[in-house]
Amino acid sequence: MWDDQRHQDVNEPPEAVVIDGIAELTTNDEANGGRIRDAALVVEGDRIAWVGPSRAAPPADRRVDLAGRAVLPGWVDSHTHMVFAGDRTAEFEARMAGEPYAAGGINVTVQATRAASEADLEANIERLVAEARRGGTTTIETKTGYGLTLTDEVRAARLAGRYVDAVTFLGAHVVPAGADPDEYVALVAGPMLDAVAPFVAAVDVFCEVGAFDEAATRRILDVARARGMARRLHGNQLGHGPGAQLAVEYGALSVDHLGFLTDDDVAALASSWAGARRGTVATVLPACDLSTRMPLAPARRLLDAGAVVAIASNCNPGTSFTTSMAFSVATAVLQMGLTVQEAVRAATLGGAIALGMDEEGWLDPRGAAQPAVGVVGPGRRADFQVLDAPSVTHLAYRPGVPLTSAVWRSGIREV
């Protein structure tokens, strides 16, 4: 059988391609200290077969010379909301003129999304995924949450699964206009979750004043946990709340936003990783903090305390209309006090851990078992990006400059 994408017969052994001339290879792999200078790597099929110093590169069928550029893992964007229609430019303008962000704007997008055709929704997701890919993103999670009826949430989950690597159910985004809050939570935790479950990898709740309080969040998380579904939370975005602590208590994969954290919250997130335990990732969303003019999440404090931190774009039409992980990384460095290496790790391996994709065999929405992502190392999925620069330092040193010049995903050059 012929594979059109790889241009080869699948019965033949996969072609080995050596990518050489790498001035700096960021691997995120403890085995080589996370970084190799004057490096090469070998891609075979959809996986990395070898990494090491250029002088030791094995022979291969084909050689690509990067002439002194930097290579790093593709971005793993672990928090987006890409299934939507409509426009909220006016809301953004009002915010920049001094209006505060309020979760009520979500209902504006809900109306537009319900009214949109499947073709229009798909075209929007496809456009955003392509934009993210050009910026170096190779793994994308996206959420439902702009449908908020059983039919519209299932539609969102089903369509998203055609384009992204993981879909999260966010029926608990806000209580839709006109609905009774108690009845809506019962719908989300009951029939809606039943209907959407075959299409999603996790359940999320926006735990915030104006969205869902602690009692409602617990009702939904209790059901998700009882069904064995992964949990994640939006928490501590607009003010201090119980989100971070609940996420740890419920063994959530991640809690995202985190602009308002007490020392106890930071300690709880850090200690969730004590011993050999797999804890809750603290996901920060720098572009969202800027676009809503809210306090920046304390990424430095979280890392210093021992928490595992991820950086994501939070691409959505209300609070963060960008797919740019490079912008998020530069902001984390310039404004949140992370080193470039810490920020790059958080936006690659951190995101992979937040999605449970740092381990072999995670299932994509089509049910295909995938190699681990977030590390450029033997056996990992061959997802990496090439910068038109000699080092990842340039991501913050030259902020706003589109440095990604090539993107490989599953062993295929896509950009």
Kindly indicate which of the ranges 103-111, 132-140, 239-247, 377-385 contains the residues binding ligand NIG, using the contact rule CB under 6 A.
103-111
Integer-rounded Cα radius of gyration of the chain: 21
Say how many residues touch ligand NIG, by CB under 6 A. 13
Residues 141 and 200: beta-carbon distance below 8 Å = no
The site map against ligand NIG for 237-276 (x = CB under 6 A) is: x---------------------------------------
- Which of residues 26, 27, 28, 109 is near ligand NIG by CB under 6 A? 109
Under the criterion CB under 6 A, does residue 113 sit at the interface with ligand NIG? no
**Which residues neighbour 264 within 8 Å (Cβ) at sequence distance 6 or greater?**
245
Asked if residue 79 belongs to a known ligand binding site, the reply is: yes
Among the listed residues 158, 234, 345, 409, the single contact to ligand NIG using CB under 6 A: 234
Could you tell me the smallest distance in angstroms from the CB atom of residue 60 to ligand NIG? 43
Residue span binding ligand NIG (CB under 6 A) among the ranges 39-47, 125-133, 303-311, 315-323: 315-323
- Contact flags string 61-100 toward ligand NIG, x per CB under 6 A: --------------------x-------------------
CA distance 69 to 196: 44
> Can residue 288 be called a binding residue for ligand NIG (CB under 6 A)?
yes
For residue 359, give the 3-state DSSP assignment. coil
Across the strands, what pairs with 19? 41, 64
d(CA 207, CA 249): 14
Q: Is 106 in the site for ligand NIG (CB under 6 A)?
A: yes
Cβ 198 to ligand NIG shortest distance, Å: 24
Q: What is the DSSP string of 219-230?
A: HHHHHHHHTT-E
Nearest approach, Cβ of residue 197 and ligand NIG (Å): 21
Residue 366 labeled ligand binder: no
Binders of ligand NIG among residues 319 to 338 (CB under 6 A) are 319
The answer to whether 160 and 153 are in contact (CB under 8 A) is no
Parallel, antiparallel, or unpaired: how do β-strands 16-26 and 137-143 relate? unpaired
**Which residues 149-208 are close enough to bind ligand NIG by CB under 6 A?**
206
- 237 carries a ligand binding annotation: yes
- Which residue's Cβ has the minimum distance to ligand NIG? 318
Q: How far is CA 161 from CA 129, 169, 191, 275, in A?
A: 12, 12, 20, 35
According to CB under 6 A, which one of 235, 298, 318, 371 is a site residue for ligand NIG? 318
CA–CA–CA angle 209, 96, 289 (5° rounding): 50
Output the CA torsion sign for 200, 129, 103, 355.
positive
DSSP state of 389: S
Side-chain-facing half-sphere of 136: CA atoms under 13 Å: 29
Binding-site residue positions for 4-imidazolone-5-propanoate: 88, 146, 173, 237, 319
Residues that bind ligand NIG (CB under 6 A): 81, 105-106, 109, 206, 234, 237, 288, 314, 316-319
